[in-house]
């Protein structure tokens, strides 16, 4: 599939097992990866300057083996994996100049992708007015969301309503989606893990009940507390993505979150290029979800959030 082809409905072999029960393998399903990252080539060729300029880039890419990817590489990966569309996220930049360059690249890549790449732009709430200006600039150029927020390296407190309110006003005014990194309060350390634990994510949802929020990496474990009625009420407009599952959980997490938070709240995300889409798929497709739950994970929930029909 060429990169300029319109997003099409695809059923890939790896997903047959997850989607059986729909009557026929020719029944098409639009697979959406809700969590990918791409960067302009200069972030690779001018790596030392970017490392000096931005603490998020330092946290995630200090290791020379940490991989970045360009949009053409992602599109090739999508073709190979049978992914129709992908949300391309920023990395939660702290430096405004770096963020603008990366955001421009996401917007341009999306514009050239024939609708296959959906841009979410990175802004830092700690910038104050500049965060609002950059968010508005990105929305005017086609951004559908803000993220991925990385509060630890961006240096803001996601539970601070004063810091968050100006940006969230833009989010609510344009019905954007906010994706934020989530951190497990227990378990192993890894680059970029941070401290955005379930309690903080829960407070963000409480503070901004009208905003549509995606808590990445299964929200650091927040779905479990969705079994508490008052938490479930606060999470009415919250979704959880599966980004980087391979590095965090065993595959039972899909079943567990679908039960605790609801199958209508789970989003397939790879965290490409950290995890290949092929690897993320085979893991998700092998999880013990019903065909309907798998459809929710791979497609229906994302389409609902993005306002897409199967014909789009």
Binding site for Zn ion (CB under 5 A): 181, 216
Comparing CB distances to Zn ion, the nearer of 1 and 257 is: 257
Which token pair is 242? 């599966």
Comparing CB distances to Zn ion, the nearer of 181 and 265 is: 181
| Separation of CA 310 from chain center | 20
Alpha-carbon distance of 117 to 74, in angstroms, equals 9
Comparing CB distances to Zn ion, the nearer of 59 and 85 is: 59
CB atoms within 10 A of CB 229: 8
| Separation of CA 51 from chain center | 23
For residue 223, give the nearest of 249, 190, 247, 246 by alpha carbon: 249
Nearest approach, Cβ of residue 177 and Zn ion (Å) = 15
Paired strand residues for 179? 147, 214
Nearest approach, Cβ of residue 149 and Zn ion (Å) = 9
Residue with the CB atom nearest Zn ion in the bound state: 181
Nearest approach, Cβ of residue 294 and Zn ion (Å) = 23
Alpha-carbon distance of 28 to 98, in angstroms, equals 39
Edge-first strand listing for the sheet containing 238-241: 32-37, 85-89, 117-121, 145-149, 177-180, 212-215, 238-241, 266-267
Nearest approach, Cβ of residue 60 and Zn ion (Å) = 9
Nearest approach, Cβ of residue 181 and Zn ion (Å) = 4
Comparing CB distances to Zn ion, the nearer of 136 and 157 is: 157
Comparing CB distances to Zn ion, the nearer of 19 and 35 is: 35
């Amino acid at each position: 599939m060429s990169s300029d082809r319109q997003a099409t409905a695809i059923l890939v072999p790896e997903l047959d097992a997850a989607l059986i029960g729909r009557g026929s393998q020719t029944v098409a399903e639009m697979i959406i990866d809700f969590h990918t990252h791409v960067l302009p080539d200069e972030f690779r060729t001018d790596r030392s300057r970017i490392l000096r300029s931005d603490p998020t880039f330092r946290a995630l890419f200090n290791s020379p083996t940490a991989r970045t990817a360009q949009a053409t590489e992602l599109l090739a990966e999508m073709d190979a994996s049978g992914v129709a569309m992908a949300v391309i996220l920023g990395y939660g930049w702290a430096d405004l100049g770096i963020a603008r360059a990366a955001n421009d690249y996401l917007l341009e890549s999306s514009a050239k992708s024939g609708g296959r790449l959906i841009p979410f732009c990175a802004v830092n709430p700690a910038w104050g007015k500049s965060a609002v200006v950059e968010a508005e600039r990105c929305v005017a150029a086609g951004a559908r969301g803000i993220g991925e927020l990385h509060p630890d390296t961006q240096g803001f407190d996601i539970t601070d309503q004063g810091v968050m309110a100006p940006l969230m006003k833009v989010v609510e005014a344009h019905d954007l989606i906010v994706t934020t990194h989530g951190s497990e309060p227990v378990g192993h350390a890894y680059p970029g893990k941070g401290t955005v634990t379930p309690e903080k994510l829960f407070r963000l949802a409480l503070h901004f009940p009208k905003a549509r929020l995606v808590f990445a990496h299964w929200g650091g474990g927040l779905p479990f507390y969705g079994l508490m009625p008052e938490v479930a009420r606060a999470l009415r407009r919250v979704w959880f993505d599966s980004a980087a599952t391979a590095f965090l959980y065993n595959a039972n997490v899909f079943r567990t979150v679908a039960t605790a938070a609801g199958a209508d709240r789970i989003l397939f995300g790879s965290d490409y290029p950290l995890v290949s889409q092929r690897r993320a798929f085979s893991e998700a497709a092998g999880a013990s979800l019903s065909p309907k739950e798998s459809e929710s994970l791979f497609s229906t929930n994302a389409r609902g959030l993005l306002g897409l029909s199967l014909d789009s």
